[in-house]
Structure 1
Amino acid sequence: MFKRCAAAGAVILAAVSLQPLSAGAAQAAPQPVVGGTPAAQGEFPWMVRLSMGCGGALYTQQIVLTAAHCVSGSGNNTSITATAGVVDLQSASAIKVKSTKVLQAPGYNGKGKDWALIKLAKPINLPTLKIASTTTYNSGTFTVAGWGAAREGGSQQRYLLKAQVPFVSDTSCQQSYGNELVPSEEICAGYAQGGTDTCQGDSGGPMFRKDNTGAWIQVGIVSWGQGCARPNYPGVYTEVSTFAAAIQSAASTL
């Protein structure tokens, strides 16, 4: 199984990191969205690209929610650059802000608990993405977006891609992944026939849908999968509602 972080130069729209799952694994390769289409400028204003090759979303205007496997631990960290406000990473209007601190999920060891927070040096004046605090929205059809690879083994993308993927039950997902899946902490999405998925370079990015008011709400974080967009191997995402209280508490300490 592979995390969906991206190695330098690879872009795939996927929710999986392509590094092998191993206890204590530090960073996974980000993935882009496979089977995706270009996102419009301003369509998902809270999307963030991180310099280590992962995605993320603005939890607050100064804190990015991403995947634990995208970072190497907790503490002061000024090495990460967050790019926001654009679909074209080479746009002259891109907002770039350095990190100051990282908080990796307590107890993260490479399996489950795949979330992390990155505090930025200054706020970014853009809309934030609300996170799900209950399982109410953990079903239906989700949207994923990222600058990851557009095919398994492909390159990272310059332009933000988006795609829709349907919910896959824990029972069905376990038929694909067995004990590698942590059902209480992860949520799966994808098509049985494959073809659409997150990929290397998409790690840490959000999986989201509309809530009952029509607003976007984040239900997942791109985490891992077997390859990208393979038949009968859905993408595996951190189940945000499971960790909502922990994320809120951690953010208050940054």
Structure 2
Amino acid sequence: MKSLRKFTGLRRLLAAGAVTLAAVSIQPLSAQAAPQPVVGGTRAAQGEFPFMVRLSMGCGGALYAKDVVLTAAHCVNGSGSNTSITATAGVVDLQSSGATKVRSTKVLQAPGYNGKGKDWALIKLARPIELPTLKIATTTAYNNGTFTVAGWGAAREGGSQQRYLLKAAVPFVDDATCRQAYGSDLVPGDEICAGFPQGGVDTCQGDSGGPMFRKDDTGAYLQVGIVSWGEGCARAGYPGVYSEVSTFAADIARAAAGL
């Protein structure tokens, strides 16, 4: 069963979005026999990933601009004015008194989004958050190697979201290999896969919308993916599926400028 990684709600079937960062889950809906708890993830240090954002609807995101969060299309309900979302930033502990909390004012869901591919959205904030932003990939040059995933999602399939930000590393999986797992459900031009053949490390429910990133040639973090979906969390033979940021970079830039 295809599973989105939003903490609650549906994307294509039953939901359970989380990123199984070996301890950070970011994968979508899907509930079948639960595998062993995600392993390999560790707690992120305060300030390690200052661009990370937790969204009140049960998703993750990253600061695209100081007043704009980039997340997944399946985390939001259409486009337009929206003051119902609260973005929490600046902390790894969601219960920290030092957290910055800002309300949304608008949401823009990827034009043409229908539940398959194009899984990105932007959330305009009521005021800027004075933290570093995460630049996005504009070419496929960095669609390789090892990526970092992080989130507050479930640490195991079907589990609950986490209080502390967790992180893990997952390797790139080529389209041909990923198609062996997902067949026609995969949209190669829109999506990029990552994970270990044996499973064990992945994103899971509650991680939807969070970034998959790596260092660029200058040593700066660069976002290459957005947590989207997968078959359960951290299952052998089923890598995590992420929205391929470079495919939509120009669209995202135009949309952000118009918010």
CA positional deviation for 1:40: 0.2
* Counterpart residue type for residue 205 of structure 1: G
Task: Specify the alignment match of 1:29 in structure 2.
Answer: none
TM-score (norm: length of structure 2): 0.91
In 2 relative to 1, CA 34–224 (structure 1 residues): closer, same or farther, beyond 3 Å? farther
Distance 1:82 1:128 in 2: 14
1:153 corresponds, among 153, 158, 167, to: 158
Task: Specify the alignment match of 2:92 in structure 1.
Answer: 87
Question: Which aligned pairs between 1:98-247 and structure 2 lie closer than 5 A?
Answer: 98-247=103-252
TM-score (norm: length of structure 1): 0.93
Does the residue aligned with 2:108 lie in a helix, a strand or coil? strand
Distance 1:105 1:218 in 2: 17
2:58/2:206 contact within 8 Å kept: yes
CA positional deviation for 1:191: 0.1
Aligned residues: 243
Q: Give per-residue Cα distances to partners, 1:52-88, cap 9 Å, x unaligned.
A: 0000000000000000000000000000000000000
Structure 2 unaligned residues grouped into runs of 5+: 10-15, 32-36
In 2 relative to 1, CA 250–113 (structure 1 residues): closer, same or farther, beyond 3 Å? same
In 2 relative to 1, CA 172–35 (structure 1 residues): closer, same or farther, beyond 3 Å? same
The alignment yields a C-alpha RMSD, in angstroms, of 1.8
Q: Does 1:16 align with 2:17?
A: no
CA positional deviation for 1:237: 0.1
In 2 relative to 1, CA 237–10 (structure 1 residues): closer, same or farther, beyond 3 Å? closer
Which stretches of structure 1, 4 residues or more, deviate above 4 A after TM superposition? 8-12
Does the residue aligned with 1:173 lie in a helix, a strand or coil? helix
1:129/1:216 contact within 8 Å kept: yes
Distance 1:34 1:208 in 2: 19
CA positional deviation for 1:19: 5.8
Q: Sequence identity, in percent?
A: 75
1:5/1:53 contact within 8 Å kept: yes
In 2 relative to 1, CA 6–34 (structure 1 residues): closer, same or farther, beyond 3 Å? farther
CA positional deviation for 1:14: 2.6
Structure 1 unaligned residues grouped into runs of 5+: 21-31
Task: Specify the alignment match of 1:2 in structure 2.
Answer: 3
